[in-house]
Structure 1
């Protein structure tokens, strides 16, 4: 089985995914890390040198590769992955895949992302809380319809990583 975690940046896909994979004794793959490894460039460098279209093609290629594998895997997607091209259909059409939307409120995302803005290229240019809230709100509004098509939706606000992992495991039973 492939367990796919989707949601906005800062929703906990990677941290929850690693813990979930450990508990289930599954492989863990962060799609952005896989792309970085296979392309031998950071995501920011890929965007800068080869452009977003190239990145999105590679993202789809590597997503197909992981989804078609027969190993038990927890896959953490990039925040935009399910929103581009045929990526959401690849996930939904796979018989061995269960997808989870880690749903995090705008206020919680702001709280999580503010301290690490410089490490997040998508928001590193923003100035002040008002600009961050406006940006995150617009993005969430655009992306939520894609995320909401996952098999399960788990609200993350006020929950520990372990509580989220337990909720995912219980959904699989």
Structure 2
């Protein structure tokens, strides 16, 4: 079984995915980390040196590679992965269990503001108000794709362990 976690950056896909992998004894792949390893650059460096279009093309190629080669796995996608090209169709056509980790805008602002320098899409935003506006716009655009997941799990006010328990309860 393939379990694919989608959601906005900062929603906890990698964090939850790692623990879920331990609990159900599946390999875990973080798509962004996979891309960084294969490309030899951080996501920020890829955006800076080669641009977002290059990144999105590579993201799609690596997504296809992972989904075609691995049977049992947990995959944490990047926040924009399901929103570009035919990625969402690819994710939903593989018979995988897709889970949207839904997080409120307020919680995302709190989680992301201190680490924005590591995230190329938001590193230029200097205030929490600007970050909130940016997230609000992106969530409006991206929620259409995220909500095509088989399950939606809200993450606010839940521990990582509670989220994993909720995921596991719906899998088996």
TM-score using structure 2 length: 0.96
Measured after TM superposition, the shift of residue 118 of structure 1 is 2.1
How far, CA to CA, are the matches of 1:63 and 1:140 in structure 2? 22
How far, CA to CA, are the matches of 1:113 and 1:47 in structure 2? 18
How far, CA to CA, are the matches of 1:120 and 1:43 in structure 2? 8
Give the equivalent residue in structure 2 for 1:29: 29
**Partner of 1:4: helix, strand, or coil?**
strand
How far, CA to CA, are the matches of 1:52 and 1:127 in structure 2? 21
How far, CA to CA, are the matches of 2:60 and 2:116 in structure 1? 26
> Structure 1 residues 50, 128: CA separation in 2 closer, same or farther (over 3 Å shift)?
closer
1:91-170 mapped onto 2 (5 Å cutoff): 91-95=91-95, 97-170=96-169
Contact 2:29 2:73 in 1 (8 A): yes
Q: Which runs of 4+ in 1 moved over 6 A?
A: none
How far, CA to CA, are the matches of 2:167 and 2:93 in structure 1? 20
How far, CA to CA, are the matches of 1:144 and 1:17 in structure 2? 20
CA deviation map 1:125-169 (0-9, x unaligned):
112221111111111111111000011000001100000001110
**Which ranges of structure 1 fall in alignment gaps of 5 or more residues?**
none
1:8-27 mapped onto 2 (5 Å cutoff): 8-27=8-27
**Partner of 1:51: helix, strand, or coil?**
helix
Measured after TM superposition, the shift of residue 51 of structure 1 is 2.2
How far, CA to CA, are the matches of 1:27 and 1:83 in structure 2? 25
Give the equivalent residue in structure 2 for 1:89: 89
Does 2:63 match 1:63?
A: yes
How far, CA to CA, are the matches of 2:53 and 2:122 in structure 1? 20
TM-score using structure 1 length: 0.95
Corresponding residue pairs, total: 172
**Partner of 1:66: helix, strand, or coil?**
helix
How far, CA to CA, are the matches of 1:120 and 1:47 in structure 2? 10
49-58 or 107-116, larger mean C-alpha shift = 49-58
